[in-house]
Amino acid sequence: MFTGIITDKGRIERLEDRGDLRARIACSWDMDEVALGASICCDGVCLTVVDRGSTGTGGWFDVDISAETVAATNIRSNRTGWVPGHRINLERALRLGDELGGHIVSGHVDGVAEVTALRDEGDSTRFSFRAPSGLARFIAPKGSVALNGTSLTVNEVAGDTFGVNIIPHTKQETTWGTVQVGDLVNLEIDTLARYVARLSDYRPDAGAADA
């Protein structure tokens, strides 16, 4: 589990197709403190460390990415896909006793949202997104979403579009300072919204009625 509070900006070093997609990601962490098999949220995608090493200025780690994960995310998209040099948001897994500063994030991306507009409002920037039609109903004003792994509060919703406000600190500490109109971002809906919707759709007598 994660909180959506980004703690590092990683850089894609290399990609290899070897059945699954193998990615090497550079970071500023001391990788001697990260175990093999640890989970790291990479631009909103929970991935498992399969190899790691240290450099003079930080470290690197390798992850394997399944075809299903590639299909559900922006990893291979035309504009915002992972290529060497591409920067991504990173967060290590939540540990018992850590401060929950964002919201509970699983790292299981539900789909991709498109940036449709952005405008400055004071020092902050208002981003507008178009969500996949099947996910729009899970997004509510003042609710939470994870976008490229970042915990954000929804300001407004209109049909399949929604907006968030990103403050200067977030733009500086994450990759949001370089996001542009037309970019695709990884979207994870709030876990609570998912279960509320499931319960509202549940009809325990449906099977008997349909029989």
In a domain, 206, yes or no: no
Answer yes or no: do 140 and 83 share one domain.
no
Residue 58 CB-half CA count within 13 A: 11
pLDDT digits (tens, 9 = 90+) for 107-135: 999 999 999 999 999 999 999 999 998 89
Domain assignment of residue 139, given as a range = 111-199
Of 92, 127, 146, at which residue does a domain stop? 92
The total domain count for the chain is: 2
163 or 198: whose pLDDT is higher?
A: 163
pLDDT digits (tens, 9 = 90+) for 21-54: 999 999 999 999 999 999 999 999 999 999 999 9
